[in-house]
Amino acid sequence: MEVVEYTDPLCPWAWGSEPVFRRLRAALADRVSWRRVYCVLFDHDDDPPPDPAAETAWYARYVEDICAHTRAPRARRLSRVAASSWPSSLVAKAAERQGDEVAGRVLRRLRESVFVLGEPADTLALAESAVRGVAGLDRVRLAADAASAAVLEAVRADRAEARRPVREVLSVRGGPPHPGTAKETADGGYCYALPTLLVRTPARSRVVPGWRPYEEYASAIEELGTGLLSESVRTAPAEALARYRSLTDPERDLLAHGPWPPADAVRVETGNGPVWLHPEEAAVHPARGGGSPAFP
């Protein structure tokens, strides 16, 4: 079985789906192949806003509304709307060459750049700075890979794949806030709404678009492969924080069991709730002054 996650490091709906996807990956362990496809939400050919300040104010309200649905943290102040998803997508794709665990931690930091810090990682310099200190990451190799022709081609392939959505998402039955119907593109084509999960085997497939509860993803997987999901994914708070290094309140509800917070957890305030960092993560995290001076 393959699970394909259509996503973007700077997408607010994808950020809001992190708790459910983390639980799903934990429940699946290594029993399936999980592949992320970076869809390039903010593209090079997007027109620049005529009034950047007004655009930022509108987008900040948009993110606030999404976070009200998902309970995901949002930055107290958003500096700007991301100029491009390409740099963060290149860095996220390059990190995959260093293994799944490192890639997940890198993607998490890129998401936090905008939704915790309010400073979207929309240049290569900012994206590489945002992931400084990620456990297990070889930053020299990451920079070289992110600048390589091979990784650029891989992200181009991701972008193209995202613009060939399966027929089922062209018309989705479902109500607000985010049913997941494919979005029409400027050239008259379509692109997956983010996030979308495609679950497939050689014989069958199921697609779960938009922001959905855990049970819908679990049902799609169980339909194609009974017995793949483990229900024992919640661990002691200290163990969960050590594994994930950064947890929001919705995530700790799904992934930890017991009195919260752990004694050594470091609390980072956002615009609507905390992010909890493992002390080793806090020592190198931009939110705690462990990253580049570009991040306050």
Strands 205-209 and 183-184: unpaired
Q: What integer pLDDT is reported at residue 80 of this predicted model?
A: 97
| 3-state secondary structure at position 34 | strand
Q: What is the pLDDT of residue 264?
A: 96
The pLDDT of residue 293: 34
Residue 32 confidence (pLDDT): 95
Please answer whether residues 158 and 150 qualify as being in contact, where contact means their C-beta atoms are separated by less than 8 angstroms: no
Q: How many other CB atoms are there within 10 angstroms of residue 211's CB atom?
A: 20
- pLDDT of 184-223, one tens digit each? 998 999 999 999 999 999 999 999 999 999 999 999 999 9
pLDDT at position 173 is 77
3-state SS assignment for residue 277: strand
* pLDDT score at 167: 96
Q: Are 109 and 134 in contact (CB under 8 A)?
A: yes
Query: Which stretches of the chain drop beneath a pLDDT of 70?
Result: 290-296
Question: 190 pairs with which residues across the strands?
Answer: 184
pTM exceeds 0.85, yes or no: yes
As a whole number of angstroms, the longest Cα–Cα distance in the chain is 54
pLDDT for res 290: 62
